[in-house]
Structure 1
Amino acid sequence: MRTLRGSSNSVCATGGVNLTRRCGRRREQRIDSPVVFSHLRVAESPTGAGRGVFAQRPIERGELIERCPMLIVDGAQGDALTEGADGYVFGWGDSSTALALGYGSLYNHHFDPNATTTEAGDELVITAVRDIDVGEEIFINYLGTAVDPDAVWFDDVVTP
Structure 2
Amino acid sequence: MTNPSPETQKPKPEDLPLERFPHLKLVFDTPKGRGVFATAPIPRNTLLEICPVLIFGLSENTTHIEHTSLYHYTYNWPLPTSSKPQTTQAVVLGLGSMFNHSTQHQNVGWTRDLQREVVVYRTLREVQEGEELCISYGGRLTFVDVEDGGEGVEEVEEVLGRIEVGEGD
Report TM bin, short chain.
0.5 to 0.7
Equivalent residue of 1:104, what SS?
Answer: helix
**1:131 lines up with 2:126 in the alignment:** yes
In structure 2, distance between residues paired with 1:36 and 1:127: 10
Distance 1:76 1:35, change over 3 A: farther
Equivalent residue of 1:57, what SS?
Answer: coil
Partner of 1:52: 35
- Greater RCO (Cα-Cα under 8 Å, separation 6 or more): 2
Match of 1:109 among 101, 108, 116: 101
Partner of 1:87: 72
Equivalent residue of 1:97, what SS?
Answer: strand
In structure 2, distance between residues paired with 1:38 and 1:71: 24
Are the counterparts in 2 of residues 61 and 128 from structure 1 also a CA contact under 8 Å? Answer: yes
Are the counterparts in 2 of residues 34 and 102 from structure 1 also a CA contact under 8 Å? Answer: no
Distance 1:115 1:109, change over 3 A: same
Residue 37 (structure 1) shift: 5.6
* Cα RMSD for the two superposed structures: 2.2
Match of 2:112 among 111, 119, 136: 119
Gaps of 5+ in 1: 1-32
Distance 1:158 1:98, change over 3 A: same
Partner of 1:40: 24
Identity %: 32
Distance 1:108 1:41, change over 3 A: same
Decide which structure has greater helix share: 2
Partner of 1:64: 47
Number of residue-to-residue matches in the alignment: 120
In structure 2, distance between residues paired with 1:65 and 1:129: 11
In structure 2, distance between residues paired with 1:60 and 1:43: 21
Give the alignment's TM-score, normalised by structure 2.
0.63
In structure 2, distance between residues paired with 1:45 and 1:139: 15
In structure 2, distance between residues paired with 1:117 and 1:82: 23
Runs of 4+ in 1 over 4 A off after TM superposition: 33-37
Equivalent residue of 2:94, what SS?
Answer: coil
Distance 1:83 1:40, change over 3 A: farther
Partner of 1:76: 59
Gaps of 5+ in 2: 1-16, 79-85, 149-169
